[in-house]
């Protein structure tokens, strides 16, 4: 099914062509003045300039050609040549009934056959997840869902921080405290223990202790660096113990992501890029792209057009250690080798923009990616407390992610009591709804903001069942679901055909915006556009529900048509919420 705006643009474009003008001038958009029209075309002014004609005369000629088409109820010229369009309810009824059989609501799979790799999440091994990990996973998972809808083979990679000096710090700390462990015996031939000798709780204590020791004692720092080198060189005992660190960390990370309903296709980390580093650097050096500079190996990436200084990308430090830029560049090599992607998108704090600029330039200079591959850093702002600074616990520390989810769930329980939501359920069902609503509150609160913007974390506002919140959207969706169930229980069926009139026109016109809305949201990596859309739809249905009787309507034709419109609206809200990663409870 072609989108309504595409259909209108084709029809108006044909009218421009008939007047000897460019078809592109016939592009139609949703009207800026819904009090005057449903759609508008602004191309007459530009077309007139190119043809050296009067804009009003061009608009009049286009209007005259369009007036013969029965789909238009009204065509008016405004200002210097804006063409305002209003469609007939008969045409909108046909459009609405076309949507009933289209699970995509007119949005074409524009990226079919293409591959997108999304890098989001980025938790570190041996460290507890904190609220700083919230935004990348929520935004990244939403972009992955949108990409799948658009037709991409979308691959989400968590990209663990598992391969650097922190690993060496932990290894050397444990070797000091547990020299008897087989992992530290150079003569041990294995096999190494299958059960991890440490838990995630242990690692959360060991790492800060080791980091502080290294900070205070240069000898300890040297030992940590040496352990890191030996780990990366493949020392068997270190590798076996490190694998335990990764496994217990992933188990903890997955619990948090499962609570949030965030999905990853790949559970890879920096370590997976290690086999690609030496061949990549050797190749870049042989081609003169990577050069030696004071003992380090670098890739100069600055250009004459730069408005600010862009430092070179360091591949090897003087001591032979690799940098984050090295592993990120090698990871691009790995992803090209494994997936041949058309796009690679990094959902990472926008403060890392310089880093990604260096990596992307090096990838292009080194021809690591095809010229047509899009490398994008979809940066984001910070989640702040009421003081406008990054959100902290009351004690001033960084809040653990699971603690924040628990806080949100507790706040939702209180909001449910105040709003008399789900109070007739048993405790298990009520707890399930509370978690679903808490996750919706957290996700929508984040996604509704411009991705690059900072925002204030306000738990009371985010968990409210009123206003622009996740719980409000869930409540509206559950209300429609409940209505449809009651109708079925009473033997009332939705009409086979929807009749558009004053009652449902606003909802159908809003649905017509969907294809362009979801395409724009993915093109710009801006989930807030999708949030605005589904909130407008929930509000439009709330007005419809408040203005018209449905189950109590005595006229069977009106009742069945309103039920059909309700069912279509639920289907659309469900699709949009799923793309945001928000579940709709069975009941509330």
pLDDT value at residue 213: 97
Q: What is the CATH number of domain 153-161+269-380?
A: 3.40.50.620
Per-residue pLDDT of 415-436, as tens digits, reads: 999 999 988 999 999 999 999 9
SS3 for 314?
strand
Q: Among 68, 29, 24, which residue's Cα sits nearest to residue 46?
A: 24
When pLDDT is cut at 50, 70 and 90, the band that residue 140 belongs to is: very high
Residues of the chain with CATH 3.30.1360.70: 4-87
Structurally, at CATH architecture level, domain 4-87 sits in: 2-Layer Sandwich (3.30)
Per-residue pLDDT of 187-197, as tens digits, reads: 998 899 999 99
pLDDT value at residue 214: 97
Rounded CA-CA distance 369/212 in Å is: 40
Residues of the chain with CATH 3.40.50.620: 153-161+269-380
pLDDT value at residue 49: 94
Q: Give me Rg for the CA atoms of the chain.
A: 29
Rounded CA-CA distance 260/253 in Å is: 11
Does residue 39 surpass a pLDDT of 90?
Answer: yes
pLDDT value at residue 6: 97
Place of tokens 């048509």: 561
401-580 adopts what CATH topology? Isoleucyl-tRNA Synthetase; Domain 1 (1.10.730)
Number of H helices, E strands in the chain: 20, 13
Rounded CA-CA distance 424/420 in Å is: 9
pLDDT value at residue 180: 97
Residues of the chain with CATH 1.10.730.10: 401-580
436 and 413 Cβ atoms separated by less than 8 Å: no
pLDDT value at residue 389: 84
Q: Assess whether the previous peptide bond of 191 is cis (omega < 30° from 0).
A: yes
pLDDT value at residue 393: 73
Per-residue pLDDT of 550-567, as tens digits, reads: 999 999 999 999 999 999
Structure tokens at 426: 């048993």
pLDDT value at residue 564: 98
Mean pLDDT, residues 374-403 taken together: 88
Helix, strand, coil percentages, rounded to 5, for the chain: 55, 10, 35
């Amino acid at each position: 099914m072609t989108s309504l705006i595409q259909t209108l643009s084709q029809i108006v474009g044909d009218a421009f062509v008939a007047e000897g003008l460019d078809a592109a001038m016939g592009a139609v958009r949703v009207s800026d003045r819904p009090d005057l029209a449903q759609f508008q075309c602004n191309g007459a002014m530009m077309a007139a300039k190119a043809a050296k004609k009067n804009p009003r005369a061009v608009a009049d000629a286009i209007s005259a050609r369009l007036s013969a088409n029965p789909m238009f109820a009204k065509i008016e010229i405004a200002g210097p040549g804006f063409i305002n369009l209003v469609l007939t309810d008969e045409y909108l009824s046909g459009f609405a009934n076309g949507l009933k059989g289209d699970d995509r609501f007119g949005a074409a799979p524009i990226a079919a056959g293409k591959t997108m790799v999304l890098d989001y999440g980025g938790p570190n091994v041996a460290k507890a997840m904190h609220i700083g990990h919230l935004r990348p996973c929520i935004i990244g998972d939403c972009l992955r869902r949108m990409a799948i809808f658009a037709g991409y083979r979308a691959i989400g990679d968590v990209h663990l921080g598992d391969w650097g000096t922190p690993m060496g710090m932990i290894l050397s700390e444990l070797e000091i405290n547990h020299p008897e462990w087989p992992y530290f015996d150079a003569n041990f031939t294995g096999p190494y223990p299958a059960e991890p000798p440490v838990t995630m709780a242990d690692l959360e204590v060991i790492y800060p202790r080791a980091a502080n020791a290294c900070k205070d004692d240069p000898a300890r720092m040297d030992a940590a660096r040496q352990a890191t080198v030996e780990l990366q060189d493949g020392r068997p005992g270190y590798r076996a113990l490190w694998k335990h660190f990764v496994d217990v960390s992933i188990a903890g990370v997955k619990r948090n992501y499962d609570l949030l309903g965030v999905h990853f296709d790949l559970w890879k980390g920096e370590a997976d890029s290690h086999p690609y580093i030496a061949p990549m650097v050797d190749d870049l050096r042989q081609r003169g792209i990577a050069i030696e500079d004071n003992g380090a190996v670098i890739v100069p990436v600055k250009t004459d057009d730069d408005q600010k200084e862009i430092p070179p990308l360091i591949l090897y430090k003087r001591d032979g250690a690799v940098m984050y830029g090295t592993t990120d560049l090698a990871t691009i090599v790995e992803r090209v080798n494994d997936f041949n992607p058309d796009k690679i998108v990094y959902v990472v704090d926008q403060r890392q923009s310089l880093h990604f600029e260096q990596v992307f330039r090096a990838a292009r200079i080194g021809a690591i990616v095809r010229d047509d591959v899009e490398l994008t850093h979809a940066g984001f702002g910070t989640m702040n407390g009421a003081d406008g600074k990054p959100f902290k616990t009351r004690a001033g520390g960084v809040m653990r992610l699971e603690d924040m989810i628990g806080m949100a769930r507790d706040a939702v329980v209180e909001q449910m009591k105040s709003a008399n939501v789900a109070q007739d359920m048993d405790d298990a069902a009520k707890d399930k709804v509370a978690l679903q609503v808490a996750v919706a509150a957290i996700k929508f609160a984040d996604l509704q903001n411009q991705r690059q913007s900072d925002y204030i974390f306000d738990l009371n506002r985010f968990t409210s069942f009123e206003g622009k919140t996740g719980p409000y959207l869930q409540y509206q969706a559950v209300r429609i679901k409940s209505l449809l169930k009651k109708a079925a229980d009473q033997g009332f069926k939705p009409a086979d055909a929807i009749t558009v009139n004053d009652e449902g026109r606003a909802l159908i016109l809003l649905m017509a915006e969907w294809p362009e809305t979801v395409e724009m949201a993915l093109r710009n990596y801006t989930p807030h556009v999708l949030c605005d859309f589904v909130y407008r739809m929930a509000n439009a249905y709330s007005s419809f529900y408040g203005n018209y009787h449905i189950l109590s309507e005595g006229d069977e034709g009106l009742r069945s048509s309103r039920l059909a419109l309700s069912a279509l609206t639920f289907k659309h809200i469900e699709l949009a919420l799923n793309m945001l990663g928000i579940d709709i409870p069975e009941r509330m």
